[in-house]
Structure 1
Amino acid sequence: RMRFFLLLFASTFIFTSSKDIPPFEAKDNYCPCGIVDGKFEGWDPKQIWLNIMIVFDTSASMADDLEEAKSMVTSFVSLMGTNRSAEYYTIIGVITASDKVKVVYPLNMKSTDNLNEVKATDADHATFVHAMEKSILLLDEICCQHHRQDIIYYLTKTTPMYELELEGEGEETPLLDFKRNGGIFMVNDFGSTTNPKLKILASPAYYFSDMSKNYANNLAVFCEANCFCDDYHFESFNNNDWSIRTRANRGCFQMDFNKTQSEARESCRAHLDYLPGALVSIHDQDKEFFVNSVAAAFYGPKKPKSKYWIGLENNGTEWNWDDKSVNPYSSWDDDQPDMNEGKSMCAFATQTTGFNVNWYAENCGQLHDFVCELAPFSVGNKGIINGFDTE
């Protein structure tokens, strides 16, 4: 689970040998979520693995839009994997909110199920706060789901004033606590114009007023929500559009310390939660600046401009990246690489003047800090915890 999951290590815990780990391949986009000509490009909705609580506003304000909302939800759920014996599956629940809260599917909806029990009422409002409380309670009851992202998906066209007023006063609310702890609150607004209050209530970048009829775009958003790093330990990177929903498109990065180059490489390959990984490769200036910012944050003001291993090593004839990537970008300092007659066959990076970063050849047996690059959790990638599935 994303939300404050605590992993306890038992004495019987089995550690995976790095020899068993498949080779790591760095990518410029680990999380393709595009749709081209109605086709999912490079991803399969059945490999999304999220916990989603769908909340329908069934008050009188939804009117005929409710049937449209039901049709859309049924369409995208039919394309998702819900079989819990499969490698990838999404856990889906359904709640209705009018003057009363009704649980239609307590996180057990299957891709073949219908929404016949979701019915319009003549209630003049939706009991939003109670619906949120029930949604969060049900999500919290899911056992042993490590690193799964929780989402509450609200379909409405009215503003739940009570919750907004409490959040505006800085009071604790169940929804505010849910979002603070890593949960995503997604709003699909069926109103005719953008509702700024609903937009504030939604998680950043998860308010939508333009996809009420498009089930495929819903799946693309779920795909993006399924792309994330372990935010408590890793820095996520995406310099393309800086969207919160695609924040980990270019990978997850972590600083560690004081190892030889070979020890650092093995440490990155056999990382605890994300397998496999590699010493970081640098293919452009944006990534280099980002990696150095990770190092600077790690060191703090007491240890500026320190050296850290990158994934370059010379095999006697040429320099190669640890992740086997091929890219002409380099940032060697003047008169580098100086391999010192074969004694300096690895490379470190360090900040020099201003924000400039340069590379230097180094003896591979020296001790330096280092940066690991790992693939984010994503559609089709759950990671492994030292031999154990994240389920």
Structure 2
Amino acid sequence: MFRGIRALHTSAASLAEKKVSLSFRKEAKGFVRRSKGPGNHKNFINVSSTTLLKKSESQLPDLKPQTLTKNVVTNFPNDSVKALHHLGSFRKGQFNEAFPRPVSLVRDVTIRLEQILKKALTTDSTNTRIAIVGESGVGKTTTLAQFQSMAKSHKAIVFAINNADNFVDGSSDFGPSALDTAEYRQPMVTRKLIKKFFKANKDELNIPLTEDIKFATVKSFGERKGKQQDLAFKAKENTLFDVLNHAVHYRGDLSHCLHFTFAQLSASNVPVFLTVDNFTAFTQNPITAYRNTKNNRIYFDRFEIPSLILSYIRGDAKFNKGGVIVSSSGKHKSNDTLSVALGDKIYEPYAKFGDFDPKFAATLQSLEKFEVPSLNKEEVGSLLQYYLDQGIIHNEKTDEINFESYRDNKFFYSSGNPRELLRSCTLNYY
């Protein structure tokens, strides 16, 4: 037997093809830096706080001061919700994206706020200086938003600072102040506040000026560099709207404009409310993250805007009509400064400065305590009924639910905390 032998053969050896070299295209416009982040798509946090997950709107009454009904879920009115968005009254993490419009529950505290507002509309701000306190997630920011909405319904002016942390956490630029009231200014924070204030209160700012103000306007690059011209606004001829309409486009420092605005608001008879959320940032961090030229950390009242806030809390400055409302935050560590000022704790003379600031506590004694309690069973039931009707609660056996038993379970799980209640309805399925 012969075995087949596979024939061996060779072919001409050839080198691999040379790889085509690629070069970066040189565009005529020059190098373009690649933008960081999600590009044209929002990240999850921004999507969840701006996208309407539920578009079927149920008929709800508006939050109007004259028609408040206890334990009723209400919409924020259309005429004020835009202003509240400009003021930053609605926060990420409040699940407002689950509703066509932000909603709130009329509670006992809401009716009490309406009574405080009614008094403040006819008296000066020294008679209405309120500190909203309560446990974390109980609805202090929402309560403050309810007050702002009702104030806007009365055509009042609202100057809102929605996060006091911006003044103490070292996140903004700062420099020496040209004013006598403070040592340091924060230009970008001041500019943002003026823009928000102007957008939210355009319709109420037709207030005749009581004194003149000038802006040194630097001409654009197309014209002669360095040449300035003063733009003047005259008393009785111009209004505060004219000044702020120019200020939002002004490229210079706006510290003088901010103090001028408050001086004009204090001199007018239009109701004005100064509101500060996360106010406990000042009690937690009275010594800020900013440092002076000697590398020493700066006390917070050396800055223009915190100093301005304290002047209205003390009563050194006041509005002819209106008030000052500050709100604490549960994200800040517990501190005895505000508690001693409101009478909840006894003054401890040997307490460390990090736990108690006697100077600041003396200033805060002029504030009146306004506590926001947890929800009771009736209030939990009103919210749950709305969540079920709106489809917020995802449960395929909704029709089989024993509502009273379900309400009692939710009340137990959340301990009457509005934030935990909403989380249990949207994130947890039990």
Structure 2-normalised TM-score? 0.20
Greater percentage in strand: 1
TM-score (norm 1): 0.21
Largest Rg, 1 or 2: 2
